[in-house]
Amino acid sequence: MSQYMEKRLQPQLKIKNELDAVLKNVEVSFKSHDDRDVQTLLVYMPLDGNPDPLNKFFSVVKEGILANFVLKCSDIERQLRIHKEGAAERLFNKAVRQLSKHTAQGELGELIMFTLLDVYLEAPKLLTKISTKTANTMPVFGADGVHGQFYDGQFKLYLGESKLHKSFNSAASKAAKSIKSANEKYQKEFDLIESHRDFYDLDEDLENILLEILDPLSNESIDEVLHSSCFIGFANPELFDHLGDEFENKYVELANNHVRHFFKKLEDEGVDINKSVLMILPFNDIENLVEEFIRYMDIQQ
C-alpha cells in the first residue's frame, strides 16, 4: 500500500493542548509475555492541582469531546452553519439526550477510547456507533468504535473494544473475547460504514480511496487492514496512595504486568497481537467515576 504513503486522516478533536493539561501520556514501551514488542498507550490523570482533576477532565469532555463522540460529523457541521451563536450548547444538549444512565458506564469507556484514538494515535472515527442504536437505553452492538489511520503508507482499520471495570484482569478477559468476535464479524462493521459512514474533513478522492480499501470484494488484502484497539479503564485505589514520580513508577510497574496479561489473553483467543494496541487509564473508583460523569453532564434519562 505504498501508494498511500502521503495520505493522512485529520483528527476530529482539536483539543490536544486541553487534553495534555488533564492527562499525562507516559512514554514507555512494553513487551508481551513472550518478549515481543507490543503497542501500548499509558495515560493517567495527575493528582495535583485545583480544581479536582476529574472535574477538569469532564470539563474538557463537555466543551470539546462529547458532541463529537455522539453526533455525526455532518450533523455537527450543519448545526454550526445554521446556528453560529449558541451552536456549541445546542450540540452538547442534543448529544446528552442520546445518553442514558443505564448505559453511561459503557458510553464513558467508549468516549475515552474515541478520544485516545483520535488525539494520540491520529486515528479518527469512521462510524458514529451511537447513531446506530435503536434506543438510547440500549448498548451499542458489535465493535465499540471503528477508527482509521494511515501509517507508513498502510491503512489500518481499528475495530475498538472498551471496558471500564473494577478489575483489570476481568476486563482484559472479556475484552479479548469481544475483540475476537468483532474480528470474525468485520463484514457487519464494513456494511455499517457503507450505510452510516462518518468521515471527517475528507475530500472526495480520499473518501473514494477509503471506500475502495474497505470493500472486501475489491480488496484482497483486507486482513492486512484489520487491526484491534482496546481501552481498559480500571480501579486501583492503592496506586493513588503515591504521588509524583513515585506514582508514575508504580503505574509503569503495574502496567507491565497488565500489558503482559492482556496480550496473553489476546493470543489465547487467536488474535494477532502484532496488529493490536492497548490503551489503559487507572482510576481510584469506577462507580464514583460513572456517577460523577452522569452528574457533570446532567444525564437525565
- Predicted confidence (pLDDT) per residue in 33-64, tens digit: 899 999 999 999 987 656 688 999 999 999 99
Report pTM.
0.92
Question: pLDDT tens for residues 219-247?
Answer: 667 788 899 999 999 999 999 999 888 99
pLDDT tens digits, one per residue of 17-34: 999 999 999 999 999 989
And the C-alpha cell for 246? 513515585
Cβ contacts of residue 6 below 8 Å, gap of 6+? none
Integer Cα distance of 92 and 64 in angstroms: 9
Residue range 130-166, pLDDT digits in tens: 766 655 555 566 789 999 998 887 889 999 999 999 9
Please give the Cα distance from 46 to 67 (Å, whole number): 25
Q: Do 252 and 228 touch, CB atoms closer than 8 A?
A: no
Spatial distance between the Cα atoms of 12 and 128, rounded to a whole number of angstroms: 12
Report helix, strand or coil for 6. coil
**Residue closest to 227 by CA, chosen among 274, 172, 263:** 274
